[in-house]
Each structure stands twice: as structure tokens, then as C-alpha cells.
Chains A and B, each alone.
Chain A
């Protein structure tokens, strides 16, 4: 971006600074200014490079349209012309100023001073998508852009929706080479946008995706859009809005899959206990009573003459959780209430790492047609410490979830998990800082107060002692949390490396091209983890380099790490 801009500015200098878009109010006062006292500007030397200098993140130029896309009306300035940069910069400024008030923002964008000289709607749409797709993160919350575009459509109903449709079409055409993170944002934007316009879209225009392998970017995109659209409406609505030819892309009905139902499950080993537990829950049995009932569940992992059966029993978890979640399947609130009521039992069942992994497996099994429910349940279980973040990461990368590895919900859960971990560490660090500040203030107070009564001095010393203890405890808490955070990233990166290495080795031995849709997705998801959490990952770079991203790694994988380092974020 800077390279191109610099080239354009140098060209502009050669053209004696003549262009048509920078507002030049001084021209109107030329006669006065010519006669006025002239001053010389002092020389300006930019500061040299310092080792701890922080630079803005590299940016690429984002151009969607050229003059052929806007055939009627004023001509669009060339992609690399300085006019294009100036207009883009001005529109960015308007958004930066007014993003909090979308009606004002839309009005200001549409009253851009030079609007009669340019196809303004195209510039606006391009700048907005440019921001939305910016890596690593958009300047503002994704949803801001959605509602801004809706306001713009309201103000220009005869022209802007068409430009937006054209843009959507162009983005769809480029899905094969679009960065996975950008595809995620495109999916979220498009489904949310459609939900504001009765899901009206010319789906038949995209019939080409129906003949492709469903893992290819285009059908995958449509599938994810329909799934997100369903979350904002309901299953039958989606069936109604797409042509019948699209039925393979319609999401599954988001209903519970109960293993221990009367018809299909009566022969299963856990069935009798499932009935007993179900009745116990309905009759408000105590936790002890239920745990007693669960002791009757045979353990497929164990010998008959083993101990009390306190060790990991996957069938016990399966029977209890399936039954409980089945009773609570009506809504999120019902399920949350169930997790809360039986928190003690769940904690007991998931004491071991195996237990934590298995509870996630069961949640997936019963709600595999309702990924939204899986996500909110996993969130709740982390927050109530039934599972920990590392367990969630291990589960998502496990063989059992391999077939869901390229689905959007998998990555939403992973990133949400990492964010929760980060917020947890930040919270304790903040508590520590606050305690330290408090102690400092106390110490200042004591020093300033000079000769006091012995009694007061003692109580002040007590308070300080308590604070010092608290600080020590919080220090330990911070270290423990950071250790957990580091471990989480180690688990995630390790799993990525294992999966990618496996794929590369398999392709090499089979003399097959490595560049499958799966591979592209996996590599870009690895990049996504680095980019989305670069602030936190910085602290652990040393460990990552020593333990994981070593020279022995396949160069394809190492390249991702090296590219990230080169960004110097």
C-alpha cells in the first residue's frame, strides 16, 4: 500500500500537484494570500528507525471495480491513480468520524463533495468492503458495515442495491482465491444483509455451484450462508427461499439426536439407566440419588472386579448427559438451566481430561444438526469450568471432528475459546494491577502521615500486609492463567502441525498435488490463529520457536510461521 501510494505521490509531483479531488479552499483566497507575509517552513526530518519503534500493520490495496464495471455516468479513476487514493482516504475519514451514527455516516458518504465527478456508489461500496475484509482485523466491528450498507440502501434505493448486488456477484466469482478469513466475513455479512431484505436473492444465478464437489469454495459458501440465514430465521424459511435444485445445500433441521429413544435405543446397554435417570430428574431427585443411579452404568473400559467405578466411564457420561440434554432440548435457557442445576454431577464426571473430552463428544453427538447450540453449550461449559479451553481445542482437532474441520462453526468455537482464555488472563492481570496500585497508595499515605498513634499505625500495617498477601495470591493466579494460555496455544499449533504434516507426507508418497481445498483451508486457518490473536501470541514466540516451529518442520508449514514473524506485528 505505502509503496504504491509513494509511487503515485511522486507521479503527482511530476504532474505539478494537479488533480481534481483534494479540496483546495485556498484557491478562492489566492489574491489575498499572494500579498500576505510568506513564511518558510522549517526543515522536517522524520525520526530514524529505533529498535522498539512500532509501525502500522502492512496493508494491501483493495480494489474491486474498474471503469468498465460502472459503464454509465462519470468515469471511475484508475485503480492506481492518486485520485483513487484521495477519494478512498476521504471516504475512510467519513466512516472513521461517523461510524457510531449510521444514518449520519450514510448521509455524509452520499454527500461527498466530489460526487458528481465519480460513480460514488461504487467507491463507497468498495471502501466499505475494503474495510470489512481488512486483515488482520477490520477497523470497526463487522456488524457496523452491515448496518451502514443497509442505511445506504435506504437512502439510495434506486441505485445502491444494484451496485451491492454486483459487488456480491463479483465476490462470489472470486471465492476460489479468496482468503478464508474474508470468506467468513462475507458469509456473515451476506446472511445478515439478506435477513433484512426477506432473503430475496437470485439464487439461480449461482446454479454453477450445484454441480461442484461440496468442499469447493462456492458450494461451501452457499451452504454456510444458508446455515447462518437459518439461524436468523428458521428451517422451513430456508427451504422456501431457495429453488428446489439447491436442496443439497440446505442445512439440516436443527433437532436433537437422542440415542436412547424408545424405538432406536431400547437395546442399548445404557437404555435402562437412561429411563431411570430421566424419571429421577423429572421427579426432582437430589444429586446424590442420581449419582447412585448412575453407578449402575457398566463401564466398557473396565474389568468387573475393579474399584468403586470412580474412574473415567464414558458410558456414564453418555447416559447422563444425553438424557439431561434431551429433557432440556427446548431452548438455550432450558439447557443452561440444566447445566447449572447438575453442575456438581457434571464436574464429578469430567474430573479427568478423558472425561472433559468425552462430554464434548456427547454434546456434539446429540446436537450435531444444531451447531449454534453446540457453540453456546461449549461456551457455558467453559465459563462454569466443566471443561477447560485445552480440552475444547483437543476435541476440535480430534479424529472424531475431522469431518467438520472445514465448517465455519468449528472455527467460531475455537476463536471464541481463545478469546475467553485471553479475557480471563487480562481480568486477573487487571485485578493484580489494581491491588498493586492500592498498596502503593497505602504506602504513600503511611509515609505522608508521619507520627501517628500506635493503634492507627498497626491497623494500617495490617491492611498493607493483607494487600501484600492478596498481591502474592494474584501473582500466582496470573502465572497459572498465563501458563494455561501458553499451553492452549501450544496444543493448537501442535495439532495444526500434526495435521498438515500428515497431509503433506500422504501427498508426497502418493505423488498427489498438495493443494486441495482442505489444505488451503487448513493453512489459512493456521494463519488466522496467528493474525487474530497476534497480540497475545507475541509473548510466547520464544517457546513456539523452540518447541514447535523448528528447522526440522516441513518448509510449507514453517513458511506460515516465518511470514507471520516477518509482519512484525
Chain B
């Protein structure tokens, strides 16, 4: 009976995912704690041409945006398809997880996920050539947990 009632309060879109930042300074527990308190979202699958202005317009629909950091190719220093969006409150970020994640920006379906918090350096892609790590590599990471 109570399982059915719990379903009525389900809020799965705001739950933290399986992804953990391998470069995070701290243990898994600490990272998860930060993710659960975070006001910052990682946004992926952006077009290389997606601008800060477009990101701001879309994510502002969920609340006041504190800061946007566009992800850059480490070598070329050009946009490489991801960014961080930080809100003033967690509630606004949760709304973005519910209503912006999986919708389109600049014609591409974007993906949002919780981030432990922006730190200088994290705006650079960690892929071999300077861009983002590709999906195949991410899956093999997940398998080693």
C-alpha cells in the first residue's frame, strides 16, 4: 500500500545519476553529498555553436541563473559542447532537471546532470584531443565501479 502512495510523490528526474567525476578531490561519499546539495548543473550535448545567451534564455525559465560557464576544448579554447549552469537556489536547479533536461536547445536534445560545483579548470574538456570524453569511454568507466 505505501509503495503505491510513494509513487504519487515520485520525483525521479531530480535524482543523482550514476556518473561520478573521476577528478573529484574527495571520496565517493563526499561527492554524493555535494551532488545532493548542489545548485549547479552540468549540461551536455550542446552544439559547438550554442552560446551563453541561448543557455541563459532557456535555463532562466526555471529561475534566476547565477552563472554560466561554457565548456572549452583544452587545446583550441573553443566551445566543445558542454557547459555548467549555476542557480542561486537548489529548487530552481531541480526544476531545470525536471523541465529542461531532455528538451531541445539550438535543435539538439540536451542533457542535464547534477554537478558537485564549478571549480577553475573544470571548464576544460578531458578528451584525448582536448574536447569532451566520448560515450564509449564513459561506459567503460561505469563498468569499473
Contacts and interface: CB of A to CB of B under 8 A. Distances in A.
Asked if chains A and B come from one complex, the reply is: yes
Interface of A: 97, 100-102, 104, 141-144, 146-147, 150, 188, 192, 195-196, 198, 228, 231-234, 331-333, 372-373, 376, 379, 416
Contacts of A195: 104-105
B37 interface: no
Contacts of B10: 100-101, 104
A306 to B, nearest CB: 42
B121 to A, nearest CB: 16
A318 to B, nearest CB: 25
Interface in B75-117: 95, 98-100, 103-107
Contacts of A331: 51-53
Interface in B22-73: 51-54, 56-58, 61-62, 64, 68-70
Contacts of A150: 103
Q: Which of A234, A379, A416 has the most CB of B within 10 A?
A: A234
A416 B105 CA distance: 24
A141 B99 contact: yes
A373 B61 CA distance: 16
B99 A147 contact: yes
B13 interface: yes
A426 to B, nearest CB: 12
A141 B57 CA distance: 15
* 4 pairs of A and B residues whose beta carbons are closest in the complex: A143-B61, A231-B57, A100-B11, A196-B104
B54 A231 contact: yes
A192 B57 CA distance: 10
Q: Which of B56, B57, B99 has the most CB of A within 10 A?
A: B99
**On chain B, which size bracket covers the interface?**
20 to 34
A316 B12 CA distance: 54
A527 to B, nearest CB: 24
A102 B104 CA distance: 15
A97 B99 contact: no
Given A101-B11, A147-B99, 17 more contacts: A100-B13, A102-B13, A102-B98, A141-B61, A141-B99, A142-B61, A143-B99, A146-B61, A188-B61, A232-B54, A232-B57, A332-B52, A333-B68, A333-B70, A376-B56, A379-B64, A416-B64
Contact of B8 (A97, A146, A192, A233): A97
A331 B54 CA distance: 11
B98 A233 contact: no
A227 B106 CA distance: 15
Nearest to B92: A141
20 contacts: A97-B8, A101-B11, A101-B13, A101-B98, A102-B98, A102-B99, A141-B61, A147-B99, A147-B100, A198-B107, A231-B53, A231-B54, A232-B58, A233-B54, A233-B106, A234-B54, A331-B53, A332-B53, A333-B52, A379-B64
A188 B60 CA distance: 12
B101 to A, nearest CB: 9
Contacts of B8: 97
Q: Which of A97, A100, A101, A233 has the most CB of B within 10 A?
A: A100
Contact of A143 (B11, B56, B70, B100): B100
A192 B54 CA distance: 12
Contacts of B70: 333
Contacts of B98: 100-102, 144, 147
Contacts of B103: 147, 150, 196
A231 B53 CA distance: 7
Contacts of A144: 95, 98-99
Q: Which of A143, A150, A332, A333 has the most CB of B within 10 A?
A: A143
A232 B57 CA distance: 6
B57 A372 contact: yes
A332 B99 contact: no
Q: Which of B10, B13, B58, B98 has the most CB of A within 10 A?
A: B98
B95 A143 contact: yes
A332 B104 contact: no
B62 A332 contact: no
A128 B132 CA distance: 39
Contacts of B52: 331-333
Nearest to A100: B11
Nearest to B70: A333
Contacts of B62: 141, 143
Nearest to B59: A143
A142 B63 CA distance: 11
A234 B106 CA distance: 9
B80 to A, nearest CB: 16
A188 B61 CA distance: 9
Given A141-B62, A192-B61, A372 B53 contact: yes
A210 to B, nearest CB: 26
Contacts of B68: 332-333
A102 B10 CA distance: 11
B99 A232 contact: no
Contacts of B106: 232-233
Contacts of A143: 61-62, 95, 99-100
Nearest to A376: B56
Nearest to B62: A143
Q: Which of B51, B62, B69, B104 has the most CB of A within 10 A?
A: B104
Nearest to B109: A196
A231 B60 CA distance: 12
